[in-house]
Structure 1
Amino acid sequence: MGEFSSRALGRVTVYSIQGCPHCVQAKATLGRLEVPVCDVDLGRHPELRAAVKELTGRSSVPQIFFNNVHVGGNDDLQKLAPEELQRLVSLVKEEPLPADAPPVPEKSQSEEAAGETDGAAELSLLLREMILKLFSEHLSADGKSVDYKGMSSNPAFERYSELAIQLQRVELLSLSREEKLAFFINTYNALVIHGFLRLGPPTNMWSRYRFFNYVSYLIGGEVFTLQDIENGVLRGNKKGLAQFRRPFSNTDPRLQVALPNAEPLIHFALNCGAKGCPPIKTYSPQDIDSQLRIAAEAFLENDDGCTVDSVKKEVRLSQIFKWYKADFGGTDENLLKWVLEHMGDSPKKTSLQGVMSAGKTKVTFLPYDWSSNGTH
């Protein structure tokens, strides 16, 4: 493989992020093609995100280029006809990299940016980065499953667990809205994986309910479960699924930490399970709102998030929009307006505009895949 790579004149460029199963799968496929592959981690190089969006019109990862030919994501790569794939491989081997080739990093700016965050944001970022690195080391070669058992016996997991203890020293009341968003999103996502490692992924509705109401961290001297973080802090102390009351009572000291209103964009940042992983998996306070918009855009770009049937005048949305309808305006009409406003320019957006302007749009919800990604 080495001699093929060294003789090739061009390159394949893959924009990916750590811990994204679709990126792992794409890179495994590309690795068998005997061409040089340049992997650009957008988590490490956020300065390239805008350029990639400009080039591809997409917010999801991976994005794959053969020289300057954009193939698309992992699904697009896997669906290529053998002769088309062969043509692209020949292009990379025989044609030098053109002047308009997709950009690669000169020097990471993310390390410098990390220094600007305060202690709490820095700690949550570090925890999330550590657990994602662990996660990606234990992803199967096809990117479809995670070896949680192997992950929990990795010495790096012990270091992670020791670091998580420092969360109890965080001063939550001094955090700004942006710092709170970044801190609690990162902490929630890390805690989900930590919970999987300690208890195993939940297998049915009851064990899921227990998992989200039981798995917790001690943060700033108070206990926060996953349910408390999502519904108490990030949704402005609203009742969650199957909850009879708000997470925090009026006398609960954690109520002071809760955001004043529900932030609908958090639903596309919490956890990792959407088909096309959004290109930001760790959030920083600096431009948190635009990072969250990118995550929502990437989610809606994929058919697991939203599909539009112009003939039937039907829009099918992820169950997330059904469960948290109140956060998106409470009615089907407001829901569709919200979706339209948060979509990137694409044929899907044009179809949605057409369906909505024709009036009487039918809204239905897609089935939700709860199956665990653990290896048995």
Structure 2
Amino acid sequence: MDESERSAPGQVTIYSIQGCPHCVQAKATLRSLSVPLRVVNVDSQSELKMKLKELTGRSTVPQIFFNSVHVGGNDDLLKLSPEELQRLVTLVKEEPFSMDALPLPDKNPSVDTSRAIDRATEPSLLLREMILKLFSEHLSADGKSVDYTGMSVNPAFEHYCELAIQLQRVELLSLSREEKLAFFINIYNALVIHGYLRLGAPTNMWQRYRFFNYVSYFIGGEVFTLQDIENGVLRGNRKGVAQLRRPFSNTDPRLQVALPDAEPLVHFALNCGAKGCPPIKAYAPEDIDNQLRRAAEAFLEKDDGCVVDSGTGEVRLSQIFKWYKADFGGTDEKMLKWVLDHMEDSPKKSSLQGVLSAGKTKVSFLPYDWSSNSYHRA
């Protein structure tokens, strides 16, 4: 937990986790307000998370309080009017904060021996914590870019590489659907970064094909390439782009690990190392479906995900919808309905509803930016 120097009787409290781009953005915004800021990390704090959910009705982070006034998440913070934000800042600067107003971690927590045993025997938990650390230190604030140079010289990356060897010990068949989703999404994104650091970024279509069919981890006694993870496990063993057959045959033991059906929402969580990909973040099994839905909403709200032209009745979508059209219903009509159902309430969603109501909607696809998502953190 971090706490700024106290210059006012009140404080802003933000509950967050490592590796969360929305948390990073919110903290940057709050620090610009020159108010005392208390950062409460809820990683591995199950009791604290439960209290926070009871208080706010939400299980997501960040959650932000000005004294004891609950604002919500990063999006809620950004939507505050200047007048409302100033009122909250004044509250913090003039009104004292009661230390028992909000749930905080136990200063002397008892040792959870059962969890300690799990952590010693379950490498996926340790890997997730290391991924969170690397992401928080080497991702841009929006989660779209990676400081590969900085990560390559970070001792934590070498530790991650050592831990990755232990993936062979993961008992994949014991994972629940939620655990499987979080585990394989996190591993996919980390493996892409690992591959970039060891082999360099692919620069053409042939190199990309080789990269995603070659770069792999040894997990639970089987080899899983990036293609195997995305198309075999997370898409329910469907053919991928430029693939002639399904990743797993009927006799392949990895087929037992595959989800029973394709999960379309994973397309907004997987990052292949290109600027056109969705942002990178680390996912937790708890509330994974809501995490993935929010990722889809955020992606569709951006103009590189979806553009609605009310004048011409045209909807332009990311190439992701073209490549994986089958996952979104297989037809333009079903795909557009899926998009509408997974957009947050916004002017763009209202525009799409209007275009669809008018009929004769034209669907086209936006250019995809394949350039590397590398950047150098100063």
Give the structure 1 partner of residue 196 of structure 2. Answer: 196
Amino acid at match of 2:268: F
Give the structure 1 partner of residue 292 of structure 2. Answer: 292
Deviations 1:234-284 (A, max 9, x none): 112211112222222344332333223212122122238789858x72231
Q: Work out the CA distance in 1 between the residues paired with 2:73 and 2:283.
A: 23
Q: Does 1:164 align with 2:143?
A: no
Cα separation, partners in 2 of 1:238 and 1:358, compared to 1, 3 Å: same
Q: Work out the CA distance in 1 between the residues paired with 2:116 and 2:361.
A: 46
Give the structure 2 partner of residue 282 of structure 1. Answer: 283
Q: What fraction of aligned residue pairs are identical, expressed as a percent? A: 72
Amino acid at match of 1:363: V
CA shift for structure 1 position 49: 6.9
Equivalence map 1:199-348=2 (5 Å): 199-271=199-271, 281-284=282-285, 286-348=286-348
Deviations 1:181-233 (A, max 9, x none): 33322322222222233223334433322221111001122211011111112
Q: Secondary structure of 1:7's match?
A: coil
Q: Work out the CA distance in 2 between the residues paired with 1:236 and 1:362.
A: 30
Cα separation, partners in 2 of 1:15 and 1:95, compared to 1, 3 Å: same
Q: Work out the CA distance in 2 between the residues paired with 1:250 and 1:120.
A: 34
Q: Work out the CA distance in 1 between the residues paired with 2:176 and 2:138.
A: 35
Mapped contact 2:306–2:317 kept (Cα < 8 A): yes
RCO (CA 8 Å, sep 6+): is it higher in 1 or 2? 1
Q: CA RMSD in A?
A: 4.5
Q: Work out the CA distance in 2 between the residues paired with 1:181 and 1:120.
A: 22
CA shift for structure 1 position 287: 4.3
Amino acid at match of 1:373: N
Give the structure 2 partner of residue 359 of structure 1. Answer: 359
Q: Work out the CA distance in 1 between the residues paired with 2:278 and 2:41.
A: 15
- Which segments of 5 or more consecutive residues in structure 1 lack a partner in the other structure? none
Q: Work out the CA distance in 1 between the residues paired with 2:22 and 2:176.
A: 34
Give the structure 2 partner of residue 374 of structure 1. Answer: 374
Amino acid at match of 1:212: F
CA shift for structure 1 position 66: 6.3
Could you tell which deviates more after superposition, 172-181 or 87-96?
Answer: 87-96
Cα separation, partners in 2 of 1:143 and 1:347, compared to 1, 3 Å: closer
Q: Work out the CA distance in 2 between the residues paired with 1:287 and 1:21.
A: 17
Cα separation, partners in 2 of 1:25 and 1:257, compared to 1, 3 Å: closer
- Which segments of 5 or more consecutive residues in structure 2 lack a partner in the other structure? none
Deviations 1:289-314 (A, max 9, x none): 34433433343344443343434333
Q: Work out the CA distance in 1 between the residues paired with 2:29 and 2:176.
A: 43
Q: Work out the CA distance in 2 between the residues paired with 1:290 and 1:343.
A: 13
Mapped contact 2:26–2:77 kept (Cα < 8 A): no
CA shift for structure 1 position 331: 0.8
TM-score scaled by structure 1?
Answer: 0.75
TM-score scaled by structure 2?
Answer: 0.74
Could you tell which deviates more after superposition, 240-249 or 83-92?
Answer: 83-92
Q: Secondary structure of 1:218's match?
A: strand
Could you tell which deviates more after superposition, 220-229 or 306-315?
Answer: 306-315
Q: Work out the CA distance in 2 between the residues paired with 1:143 and 1:281.
A: 10
Cα separation, partners in 2 of 1:140 and 1:332, compared to 1, 3 Å: closer
